[in-house]
């Protein structure tokens, strides 16, 4: 028997669905972030983010089946991401993480997820301010 993945431990598909749905609800009304998204429909972006996070945390590998290697920093090059955009992104993500109840996301997993998002957001910064 293999050890449970993070993906399984926090509730699998449903949890990653709820997390990304809540995140994009915030993005949709954020005046700094919303203009950065090229498509009018945020649905496809939400799905790409969900597939990526599921794969990163040990779930299905659908992201790479469809999109290949993530190369996230490169994929973010077309968008100007300074400290303002990073802060707005993290604001939305903190709200999304807070919306997942502690039955699914205990303190230890919540902290790991939060620290990952903060590290990943910093690594996407490609412009000053």
> In the complex, which residues of this chain contact ligand HEM (CB under 6 A)?
33, 36-39, 45, 48-49, 52, 67, 72, 75-76, 79, 81, 85-86, 89, 120-121, 124
| CB 39 to ligand HEM: min, Å | 6
Contact between 105 and 97 (Cβ < 8 Å):
yes
Residue with smaller CB distance to ligand HEM, 1 or 69: 69
The residue length of the chain stands at 129
Three-point CA angle 93, 98, 102, nearest 5°: 140
3 vs 34, which CB is nearer to ligand HEM? Answer: 34
Nearest approach, Cβ of 117 to ligand HEM (angstroms)?
6
Residue 14's alpha-carbon distances to 20, 21, 43, 50, in angstroms, are 10, 10, 16, 11
Give the shortest CB-68-to-ligand HEM separation in angstroms. Answer: 8
Distance of CA 33 to the CA centre of its chain: 14
**11 or 93: CB nearest ligand HEM:** 93
In angstroms, give the least distance from the CB of 79 to ligand HEM. Answer: 5
Q: CB-wise, 43 or 106, nearer to ligand HEM? A: 43
Please state, in angstroms and rounded to a whole number, the distance separating the CA atoms of residues 129 and 109: 31
The number of beta carbons lying within 10 Å of the beta carbon of residue 120 is 16
């Amino acid at each position: 028997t293999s050890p449970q993945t993070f993906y399984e431990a926090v509730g699998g598909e449903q949890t990653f669905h709820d997390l990304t749905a809540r995140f994009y609800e915030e993005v949709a009304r954020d005046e700094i972030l919303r203009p950065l998204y090229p498509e009018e429909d945020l649905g496809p972006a939400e799905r790409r983010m969900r597939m990526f996070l599921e794969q990163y945390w040990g779930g299905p590998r659908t992201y790479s089946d469809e999109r290949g290697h993530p190369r996230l920093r490169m994929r973010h090059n077309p968008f100007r991401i300074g400290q303002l955009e990073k802060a707005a992104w993290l604001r939305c993500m903190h709200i999304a993480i807070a919306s997942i109840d502690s039955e699914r996301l205990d303190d230890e997993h919540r902290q790991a997820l939060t620290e990952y998002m903060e590290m990943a957001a910093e690594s996407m910064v490609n412009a000053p301010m």
